[in-house]
């Protein structure tokens, strides 16, 4: 159902009640303004509830794609509505951590429902002392280990979706290798 055509939605501010007394008993004027009330009622209802439209946990589902575009989230219609709401609600937090280990782990948990561990720094080296020699080069890749969240009811890990998400979230200068594990690291052989 569209908010623009809610059948039987009464207007909280009927125009006929605001007409001069001369038109209070005029049948044509009252019917004419009632037609306008039908058109304006959804507008008034939307404006009365406007704060709820900007809260992704309360906004109508068909409003989520537009709200997601405001915060730079890709809204995937294949995701369940609750996951889409959570992605929009946590967008600022995830953008702030984008390109970091924690940001990658959080995004994998949110979007795919998997647990992850990131090791290595993708070849970034630095020195804390100005003018000092750089330390030896670091590993040239970051290793992202992913496994299904225990007890989360998540299906098997989709390696292709994991690689695609890691590719979009890893910094451009970084090579990220993905390993899909059967369980948390250290528990695979048990």
Q: Which domains does the chain have, with CATH numbers?
A: 99-128+137-183 (3.30.300.30)
Q: What is the pLDDT of residue 122?
A: 66
Phi-psi sector, 149: left (phi>0), alpha (psi -120 to 50), beta: beta
Q: What is the pLDDT of residue 133?
A: 84
Rounded Cα–Cα distance for residues 82 and 56 (Å) = 10
Three-state SS at 118: strand
The model's pTM is 0.64
pLDDT, one tens digit for every residue, the chain (190 residues):
456 667 788 888 899 999 999 999 999 999 999 999 988 888 888 889 899 999 999 998 989 999 999 998 878 888 889 989 998 999 989 889 888 889 999 989 888 888 999 987 766 677 788 888 877 766 678 889 999 877 655 567 888 989 988 888 888 778 888 999 888 887 654 4
Q: What is the pLDDT of residue 105?
A: 92
Q: What is the pLDDT of residue 161?
A: 87
Q: What is the pLDDT of residue 79?
A: 83
Q: What is the pLDDT of residue 188?
A: 54
Rounded Cα–Cα distance for residues 38 and 27 (Å) = 17
Residues contacting residue 149 through CB under 8 Å, at least 6 positions apart: 109, 113, 114, 115
């Amino acid at each position: 159902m569209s908010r623009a055509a809610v059948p039987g939605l009464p207007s909280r501010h009927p125009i006929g009640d605001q007409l001069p007394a001369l038109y209070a008993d005029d049948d044509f004027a009252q019917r004419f303004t009632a037609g306008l009330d039908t058109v304006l009622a959804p507008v008034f209802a939307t404006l009365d509830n406007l704060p709820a439209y900007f809260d992704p946990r309360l906004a109508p589902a068909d409003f989520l794609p537009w709200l997601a575009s405001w915060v730079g989230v890709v809204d995937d219609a294949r995701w369940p509505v609750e996951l889409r709401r959570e992605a929009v609600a946590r967008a600022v937090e995830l953008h702030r951590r984008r390109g970091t280990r924690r940001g990658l782990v959080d995004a994998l948990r949110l979007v795919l429902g998997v647990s992850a561990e990131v090791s290595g720094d993708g070849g970034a080296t630095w020195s804390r002392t100005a003018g000092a020699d750089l330390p030896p080069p670091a590993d040239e890749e970051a290793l992202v280990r992913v496994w299904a969240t225990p007890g989360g009811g998540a299906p098997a890990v989709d390696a292709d979706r994991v690689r695609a998400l890691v590719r979009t979230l890893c910094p451009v200068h970084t090579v990220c290798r993905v390993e899909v594990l059967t369980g948390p690291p250290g528990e695979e052989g048990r």
